[in-house]
């Protein structure tokens, strides 16, 4: 499925008409064979403490914390993901806090795209 996903992502990126595009791919950095990260100029990681990730994922997916930990153990480590990021948004607070940080990042991205 990775080649098909990469092909479709390229199609969508080529037709985008916004100042910038965000490619949302949960395993962007893990899926090296798909080369999705190679389509990106920057890598943004929305990060939270692992304990909070486990809690949120357990609630969202109805899985046990142990199952979530097993899934996370098969992914790129948090340390490695953060090391590869150009931008990091801390998501340890409230949803309102997150939106404020994302609005600031949006303004930064608009400026980088030459808008404003």
The full 3-state SS of 25-81, as one line of letters, equals: CCCCCCCCCCCHHHHCCCCEEEECCHHHHHHHHHHHHCCCHHHHHHHHHCCCCHHHH
What DSSP character marks residue 115? -
Q: What is the pTM of this model?
A: 0.86
Question: What is the mean pLDDT of the segment spanning 2-24?
Answer: 91
b/e for 38-65, b at 16 or more Cβ within 10 A?
eebeeebbebbeeeebbeebbeeeeeee
**Could you give phi then psi for residue 87, rounded to 5 degrees?**
-135, 140
Question: pLDDT value at position 51?
Answer: 96
Dihedrals phi, psi of 76, to nearest 5 degrees = -55, 140
**pLDDT on residue 34:** 56
Domains detected in the chain: 2-112 (3.40.50.300)
- The predicted structure's pLDDT at residue 64: 96
Q: Answer yes or no: is pLDDT of 107 > 70.
A: yes
* Segment 23-60, tens digit of pLDDT: 998 788 886 655 788 899 999 999 999 999 999 999 99
CA 113 – CA 110 distance, rounded (Å): 5
pLDDT value for 115: 93
Give 69-91 pLDDT, tens digit per residue: 999 999 999 999 999 999 999 99
């Amino acid at each position: 499925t990775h080649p098909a996903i990469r092909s479709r992502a390229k199609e969508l990126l080529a037709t985008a008409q916004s100042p910038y595009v965000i490619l949302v791919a949960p395993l962007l950095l893990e899926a090296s064979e798909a080369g999705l990260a190679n389509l990106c100029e920057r890598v943004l990681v929305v990060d939270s403490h692992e304990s909070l990730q486990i809690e949120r994922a357990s609630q969202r997916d109805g899985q046990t914390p142990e199952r979530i930990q097993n899934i996370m153990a098969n992914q790129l480590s948090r340390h490695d993901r953060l090391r590869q990021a150009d931008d990091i948004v801390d998501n340890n607070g409230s949803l309102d806090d997150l939106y404020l940080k994302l609005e600031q990042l949006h303004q930064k991205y608009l400026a980088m795209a030459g808008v404003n």
